[in-house]
A and B are shown apart, each in its own frame.
Chain A
C-alpha cells in the first residue's frame, strides 16, 4: 500500500471539474460511476452474503445471490474456531500505541527540525530522510535477531517498537510547520512558553488537519500490518487480526468458506467504520497533498 508515501497537506475544497459538458461524456461518466460501484461492490457483496449463508448453500451447484436462510452461525463458528476476542485486543493495543508513538515522533521531530536551534540541523534532517530509502522488508531478519536478543518475541513491544519511528510523517509535518508564520511561534516565546508548550498548544493545533490525516493513515497502516507481526509472533495468543484470519484460512481452508468470510469481516469492519466516518477527510487530504507535494 502506497499510503505511507503519500504527501499530505491541509485539505482544501476541490475545484470544480473543468470539462465542457457533452451528453455522451456525461453518460459515460455515469457509466463509470456504476462500473466503480460494481467493481468494488460485487466482491464485497459476495463476501458478505457468503458469511450469512449456510455451508450447504455455499457448496450448492448453483450459487445463490441472496442467502436463502440467512444465519449468523458462521460468525459464531469463526469466533470459536480462533480466539478473535484476543486478536481484537492485540490489534487494538498494537495499533493505538504504535500510531500514538508515530504521531508523537513525527510531531516532536518535525518541531525540533523546524523550530529548535541546533548546528547542522539540515544534515540531521537528511539522515532521517535517508531511512525512507530502506524498505521495511529487507530489515526483517536483523530485526528479528535484535528482538530475539531482547527477549521480545511474542510481546507487544516486539510488535510495536521496530516500526514506531517515522520519517515520512516527520518530513511532511516539517514542511507544513515551515509554512506557519514565525510570529506565532515568537509570540508564544515572548509569553514565556517553553518548546513543549509551544509545540502542544500553538503549533499542533495550527497543523491539526495534517496531523489528523496522518494519524488516520497511520492507524489504518498499523491495523493492516502483516509481515512484521507474522514474523515476531509465534503463539496464537499474540497474533493480531490479519495474522489470525490467515491462520483461520489454514485451519478451515476451502472447506468452510462461510466461516472464513465471517473472519475476514471481523478484520475489516473497524477500518470500514473509520473510513465511513472520515472518508471525505482522508480522500481529500490524500488528493490535495499529492498534487501539491
Chain B
C-alpha cells in the first residue's frame, strides 16, 4: 500500500487523524527504544571516555585512557579469547549434535514428537535454575556425573573449581540447554525438502551418502545459516549460566565479555572501563549482525 500524500490535501482532518493514530500506536514503543536502547548506546560511548565510580558527583574526562587500560590488559585478552572459545564450542557442538539427532529423528517413529518435545524442554527453563542444578550435577563428590564416571571407574574432575575444566563444563550445560532448539529447527528444515528429489536420486542410483551430500545438505543450507547466526549471537550474550555457576572464575577461566561488563560495572564500579567493554561488545555484535544481513541478501538474490 503506497502512501501518496500529494493526492490528498495535506493536513485534511482525515490525514491528521491517520497521523495521530500512527503515533499513538507506534509512539510508546519507539519512545521506550529511544530511552532504553538508543540513548544507552550513546551514553556508553560517553562513559568510555570518563573516569567515574558511580558515586562521586564529578566525572573526569580521560580521553582514550580507559581504552588503553582495558585493551592492553592481559586479563582482557583472556576474556576476549574466552568469549570466542565459549561461542565456538557451543555453536559447533549444538550444530553438529543437533544435526545428527535431527537426521536420526527424521523418520516415521513412534514417539518421535515426544522425543522432540523432551529435547526442546530445557530451552524454556530458567538459566539460573539450570545453572544451579548443574552445579550439583558437577559436584565432584556427591554429583550425578561423579556417580556415573565412578561406574566406569573414572574419578570426576573438579569441574567448576579447576580452570582447565570450568569452560568445558559451562559449554556442556549451554549445549544441554539449547540443543533441542537446534533439533526442532533442523527437523523443520529437513521436512521442507522436497521428497521427490530423494526418489529421483534413488531411481538414478544415488546411495545414502550421495543423497545426503547433494540433496540434504544443500536443502538445509538456509536453516544451517539461520541456526549458526542465531546461536553465535545468543552464545555471545550468555550471562545467567556464567553468573550462577562460575562468576567468571576460577581465575578468569570463564570470564567473558558480557560477564566482564557486569563485573566492571556492578562489582568494581568502574563506569569508564565497563563503557569500553560495552563498546567492544557492541562492535563485535554489530559486525556479526551486518555479516548476517549481507549473507541473507546474497541468499535472497540467489533465490
Contacts and interface: CB of A to CB of B under 8 A. Distances in A.
A263 to B, nearest CB: 8
B39 A18 contact: no
A231 interface: yes
Interface residues of A, number: 113
Contacts of B261: 137-138, 140-141
9 contacts: A33-B105, A36-B116, A40-B180, A137-B278, A144-B265, A162-B32, A271-B124, A286-B185, A291-B223
B158 interface: no
Interface in B21-58: 21-22, 25-26, 28-30, 32-33, 35-41, 43-44, 47
Residue with the greatest number of chain B CB neighbours at <10 A, chosen from A1, A146, A243: A1
A39 B127 contact: no
B223 A141 contact: no
A151 interface: no
Contact of A40 (B29, B113, B122, B126): B122
Nearest to A106: B29
A127 B44 contact: no
Contacts of B47: 141-142
Contact of A135 (B105, B240, B285): B285
B125 A137 contact: no
A282 to B, nearest CB: 8
B109 A29 contact: yes
A50 interface: yes
A202 to B, nearest CB: 15
B112 A33 contact: yes
Contact of B40 (A31, A124, A143): A143
A195 B18 CA distance: 9
Given A63-B142, A134-B37, A15 B191 contact: yes
A127 B32 CA distance: 13
Interface stretch (A68-76, A111-119, A205-213): A111-119
B141 to A, nearest CB: 8
